[in-house]
């Protein structure tokens, strides 16, 4: 028994002295060294950055220095004096950073991809710099210190001061602060696919091949970059409606929150092995949605939907697009038709309906005028008779 206890104790001692280093390359080309080791019954991680002047660890680390630091940490753990690393104090010790100083430091590291995330697109960097920071946050909070005494809730909720600083009315500030986030309940794969097919009209193969880098949500115009061999550049730009753009933003947020693939190179609809979803999955998703819709229609006494496929939603999108715009060339560009005769032939009934609607509009206006003329004429004759009879 004593020998077993000694063996177990020696095993624990060996485990407590073990450690590992995992190097991870960041988006700015530098490396971060993750030091993992056992301490106090736990397995903490300390991160050392190769990037110079890092505020969390001092920066300037390389693999040999990281290995030496790991051995020093293990020695401190064995001696019982190890403590978790604290962030490096700024050079101006004792002076609180202002918001503009903190924002500058954060923006520099974030735009370079040094925060462990994907490097943002140039359009996103421009949006955050010119719109979020320069237009809104810096004018209102730029010189406010970041200590508890000054960065208070009262200062942050001084809506008249914020409105005056950014050049808008106070009700506008209240409106944007009170506006609920879109699709707070979450957006799943089925909802995102159905909305995209009905609101943007891509072919199902084009939709399933989309990756998150192809969804441009943070620069005007917000659009999809769809691979299309019929387009001279090989890329067809499909403009997004505001509702569709907000839904896709919420969809990516939900995937990240749930730990599902949502990087630039990941497909919008990802199969179990990481590739794109199949046409069979998409067709089944649309069929299930059509069945639910038919059941709800039946409950209201309406006939069921006809056979609905992913291409049905594309036809629906094009039909609505031709109903709201007279620019057939623009519609062709959005849906990838390279022949105007094709568009006119397939959707000629929509064009005829538009003309019929114009005729019906004129007919309704004409009938309204005739009714008004009759009413006015009858009223005049009644008044004339009253004048002839004299006062009652």
The answer on pLDDT for 94 being more than 60 is no
Check residue 92 and give its pLDDT. Answer: 46
Check residue 384 and give its pLDDT. Answer: 40
Ramachandran assignment for 170, one of left (phi > 0), alpha (psi -120 to 50 degrees), beta (any other): alpha
Which token pair is 57?
């660890």
More confident residue, 229 or 236: 236
Closest CA to 311 of 282, 339, 331, 349: 282
What are the residue boundaries of the structural domains of the chain, listed by start?
16-79, 99-178, 189-318, 347-392
DSSP-assigned states of every residue in 286-327: HHHHHHHHHHHHHHTTPPPP----HHHHHHHHHHHHHHH-S-
Closest CA to 220 of 310, 316, 127: 127
The terminus-to-terminus CA distance of the chain in angstroms comes to 125
Mean of pLDDT values over 249-257: 86
The reply to whether the predicted model has a pTM over 0.85 is no
Mean of pLDDT values over 326-344: 77
Closest CA to 99 of 146, 58, 45, 38: 146
Check residue 356 and give its pLDDT. Answer: 54
More confident residue, 223 or 5: 223
pLDDT band at 1, cuts 50/70/90? very low
The answer on pLDDT for 313 being more than 60 is yes
> Residue 235 in contact with residue 226, Cβ under 8 Å?
yes
The answer on pLDDT for 310 being more than 90 is yes
Lowest-confidence segment of 8-12, 61-65, 200-204, 220-224 by average pLDDT: 8-12
Helix axes 310-324, 189-200, angle to 10 degrees: 40
Tokens 């794969």 locate to 189
Mean of pLDDT values over 18-33: 82
More confident residue, 174 or 3: 174
What's the CATH fold of domain 189-318? Answer: hpI Integrase; Chain A (1.10.443)
Check residue 288 and give its pLDDT. Answer: 94
Check residue 154 and give its pLDDT. Answer: 56
């Amino acid at each position: 028994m004593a020998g077993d206890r000694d063996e177990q104790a020696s095993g624990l001692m060996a485990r407590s002295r073990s450690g590992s280093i995992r190097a991870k390359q960041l988006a700015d080309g530098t490396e971060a060294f993750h030091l993992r080791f056992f301490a106090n019954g736990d397995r903490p991680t300390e991160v050392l950055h190769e990037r110079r002047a890092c505020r969390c660890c001092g920066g300037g680390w390389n693999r040999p220095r990281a290995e030496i630091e790991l051995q020093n940490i293990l020695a401190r753990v064995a001696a019982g004096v190890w403590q978790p690393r604290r962030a490096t104090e700024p050079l101006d010790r004792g002076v609180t950073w202002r918001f503009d100083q903190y924002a500058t430091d954060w923006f520099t590291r974030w735009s370079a991809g040094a925060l462990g995330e994907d490097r943002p697109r140039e359009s996103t960097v421009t949006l955050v710099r010119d719109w979020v920071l320069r237009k809104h946050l810096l004018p209102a909070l730029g010189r406010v210190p970041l200590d508890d005494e000054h960065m208070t809730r009262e200062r942050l909720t001084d809506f008249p001061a914020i409105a005056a600083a950014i050049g808008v009315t106070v009700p506008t500030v209240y409106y944007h602060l009170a506006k609920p986030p879109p699709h707070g309940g979450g957006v799943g794969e089925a909802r995102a696919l159905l909305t995209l097919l009905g609101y943007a009209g891509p072919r199902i193969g084009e939709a399933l091949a989309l990756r998150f880098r192809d969804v441009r949500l943070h620069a005007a115009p917000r659009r999809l970059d769809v691979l299309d061999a019929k387009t001279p550049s090989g890329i067809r730009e499909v403009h997004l409606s505001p509702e569709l753009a907000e839904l896709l933003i919420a969809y990516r947020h939900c995937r990240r929150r749930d730990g599902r693939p949502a990087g630039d190179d990941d497909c919008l609809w990802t199969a179990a092995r990481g590739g794109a979803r199949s046409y069979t999955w998409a067709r089944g998703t649309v069929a299930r949605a059509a069945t639910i819709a038919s059941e709800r229609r039946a409950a209201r006494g309406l006939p069921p939907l006809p056979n609905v496929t992913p291409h049905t939603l594309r036809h629906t999108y094009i039909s609505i697009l031709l109903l709201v715009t007279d620019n057939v060339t623009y519609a062709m560009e959005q849906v990838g038709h390279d022949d105007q005769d094709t568009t006119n032939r397939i959707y000629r009934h929509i064009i005829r309906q538009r003309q019929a609607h114009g005729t019906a509009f004129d007919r309704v206006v004409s009938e309204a005028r005739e009714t008004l003329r009759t009413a006015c004429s009858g009223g005049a004759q009644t008044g004339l008779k009253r004048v002839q009879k004299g006062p009652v």
